[in-house]
Chains A and B, each alone.
Chain A
Amino acid sequence: MKYLDEYRDHRIARALAAEIVQSTTRPWVLMEICGGQTHTIMRYGIDELLPREIELVHGPGCPVCVTPLETVDKAIALAMRREVTLVSYGDMLRVPGSRSDLFRAKALGADVRIAYSPIDAVKIAAANPDRKVVFLAIGFETTAPANAMAAWQARYKGISNFSMLVSHVLVPPAIRALMVSQTNRVQGFIAPGHVCTVMGCKEYEDLVRDFRVPIVVGGFEPVDILEAVLMLICQLEARQLGAGEARLENQYVRSVSYQGNLPAQQLVEEVFEIADQKWRGIGSIPRSGLRLRQEYAAFDANRVFDLGEITVDEPADCISAQVLQGLKKPPDCPAFGIRCTPENPLGAPMVSTEGACAAYYHYRRHTAAS
């Protein structure tokens, strides 16, 4: 398959890995931000191809994992209302809230449906004027344009029985929060290629300058990740020799431009505004999320349904905050694979297959144990 097979070619991958080995002279800690990248690393065993000196730390970029418990609880509570049809991306249905999940709500009679696009939820609303259709609009900048388009279309077409329960997170504020943390170990970032396809690379310039940390926008296939690692290592090793400043580079040039997708950004800007946001497993990060603008209040499920303020604490024995900062690896957790499994997750990174703990559980139990 074009644009896929060449990026999964094991000969190219091994050649890159050999170059990384040659270029590495000392230990480096790198973080891949996106859960999709974590998934690829675990699925193909990319970390096993790297020299021992390079440690890959798995970032907070799994949209399903970082959606706060409260949002899941609210979605379930909405779904349980007789007049509501709750529409969601498929992988949110198994995510546990504090007491239940959407699959269980469905089993108890809630009208819960999976959509591949938020526009489908608008269509369901248009076709069922007697139902109140709520779309669970979660994700990073990647899904923001499609979610914004759903709200925009509903407003444009006057579909008043449609609303969205929004829990949107943004990558750059999360990187900033990691970098200012006292315990930060990360020396270079692989930025998420899909997010940057929408937003471009430009908003990462400030982070590179403020923290003098190299950032490479990377893709999601094995060759992409290895090439991004090589680009980071080349920068880090060169700086070690006094050559050059930290730079922003783009490995994922087949998809990402410096400016990004401007019409998509405009649409997001028109529908959403930046707000403080809670991340499951991490806590609240200032200005790290999106909420619907006042003009779209009529489509904001939080306002339409008067759900109130709800706070739920994470289970205390989950070490996800340390995992997501790269201070610990998932198998270091005493609960890993025992009290915490993908079927009964204690915390965020075990929730979706793209979460770091779930990726270790699904792909690495055999080596983690030995």
Chain B
Amino acid sequence: MSAKTIVEKNFDFSCPAPLPAKDTILLGHGSGGKLSAELIRDIFLPAFQNPVLARLDDQAIVNVNGQRLAITTDSFVVKPLFFPGGDIGSLAVHGSVNDLAMGGATPLFLSAAFIIEEGFSIDELRRVVNSLRRAAAEAGVQVVTGDTKVVEKGKGDGLFINTTGIGLVPEGVDLSADRARPGDKVLLSGSIGDHGIAILAQREGLEFETQIQSDSAALHTLVADMLGVTSNVTPDMRCMRDPTRGGVSSTLNEIAERSRVGIELDESSLPIHEQVRGACELLGLDPLYVANEGKLIAIVAPEAADAVLQAMRRHPLGAEAQIIGSVKKENPGLVTMRTPFGTTRIVDMLAGDQLPRIC
């Protein structure tokens, strides 16, 4: 490179100014990481501020005539539309059902809105709708209203679905991310990373010896079983979350921040399927940040942890459940991990999406 000549061609390189103010939406704003949290904090919360929204849980819980109603909404933009273990239709049901279930609610009704790109195959739409219908029937929820919009070719990506769910919260159940206390146990219902890796493998045409299946499933019956063995008088069940976008790490970081506690994980207790581990090693990804669609994390009082764990393991969706860590007073707002070497490290929240490493 010849010395320090600065030749400006089509662009101005000369001054290394700081990066510009954040004035553009990036894909990372939808990742469930720090960028998503910033968007909620800076744009949405100030606009709509109210005590229900301020809880920042997966669902809102409102009182209507003495009944506690849980409401949630979720949009599904997954690509590919069909993947091993599910499709956008079943996912649209499981996503909203699970967001209700994480509040302890019994899911009752769903809405379904379809945004379809001009030119989309009616046959594929029928397959998606049938899958959505089956998933709703299996979950015991009814799709009671809906909407259809068609956008011009090139203005959508085939098909997007939004579902809104409504459910009822039983008396005595009060779950929220701000209720974790030092000493509580962190329970995870099964292996992590299956959904994200299944989608990635399908999208990128990566082939493994055995196909990795998405874990997409409705978790409300598992939640009911777990709540069945905990005391309502001194609420032992503090909080439940399904670690979807951003994975286990983002979910636990949110809980640690909202409850102002530290969370310490035990690395050797994390259930991760061998194929998922292999795929993550190959791609340079950390399964703690990979999405799940059929797993839940529960923060449980220490005295109830074993009973809840046993209840989880008796349910088919919780057969591989583990206690993966505990809540601490040290390092409030941080998630740390005890390694098998006896050392600890931070499990950080990512800014945006996890990126495959170069080598």
Contacts and interface: CB of A to CB of B under 8 A. Distances in A.
B359 A312 contact: no
Contact of B358 (A103, A108, A139): A139
B16 A315 contact: yes
A1 B346 contact: no
B20 A99 contact: yes
Nearest to A42: B345
Given A89-B358, A114-B355, A116-B356, 4 more contacts: A89-B356, A100-B20, A116-B283, A311-B4
B341 A91 contact: no
B339 interface: yes
Interface stretch (A69-77, A237-245, A324-332): A69-77
B233 interface: no
Interface in A293-317: 306-315
Interface string A53-65: 0000000000110
A354 B357 contact: yes
Given A1-B274, A70-B13, A90 B357 contact: yes
Contacts of A202: none
A114 B244 CA distance: 23
Interface residues of A, number: 71
Contacts of A42: 345
A73 B17 CA distance: 12
Interface in A322-370: 342-344, 352-354, 361-367
Nearest to A92: B358
Given A107-B26, A194-B359, A366-B346, A311 B339 contact: no
19 contacts: A1-B274, A46-B341, A46-B343, A48-B343, A73-B11, A89-B356, A89-B357, A94-B28, A94-B351, A99-B19, A106-B26, A116-B204, A116-B206, A139-B359, A284-B1, A308-B9, A309-B7, A310-B6, A313-B16
A84 B94 CA distance: 40
Given A194-B359, A310-B13, A45 B343 contact: yes
Contact of B341 (A44, A114, A139): A44
Contacts of A94: 28, 351-352, 355
A243 B137 CA distance: 78
Interface in A94-120: 94, 96, 98-101, 103-104, 106-108, 114, 116
B197 to A, nearest CB: 14
Interface in B1-45: 1-2, 4-11, 13-20, 24-28, 34
A143 B16 contact: no
Contacts of A140: 359
Given A309-B7, A366-B334, A366-B336, A104 B346 contact: no
A92 to B, nearest CB: 7
B352 A103 contact: yes
A8 B358 contact: no
A8 B346 contact: no
Contacts of B11: 73, 77
A142 B359 contact: yes
A49 B351 CA distance: 30
Contacts of B204: 116
Contact of B359 (A8, A36, A366): A36
Given A1-B281, A103-B26, A116-B204, A43 B345 contact: yes
A222 interface: yes
Q: How large is the interface on B (under 10, 10 to 19, 20 to 34, 35 or more residues)?
A: 35 or more
Interface in B277-334: 277-278, 281, 283-284, 331, 334
A70 B8 CA distance: 12
Most buried by A among B15, B283, B340: B340
Contacts of A315: 16
A100 B341 contact: no
Contacts of A104: 24, 26
Contacts of A49: 341, 343
Which 5 pairs from chain A and chain B are nearest by CB?
A45-B343, A90-B355, A10-B340, A90-B356, A98-B16
B348 interface: yes
B344 interface: yes
Contact of A114 (B5, B10, B356): B356
A107 B27 contact: yes
B17 A98 contact: yes
A311 B5 contact: yes
Nearest to B358: A89
Contacts of A164: none
A166 interface: no
B276 to A, nearest CB: 11
A93 interface: yes
Given A44-B339, A45-B341, A309-B2, A363 B19 contact: no
Contacts of A268: none
B331 A91 contact: no
A217 interface: no
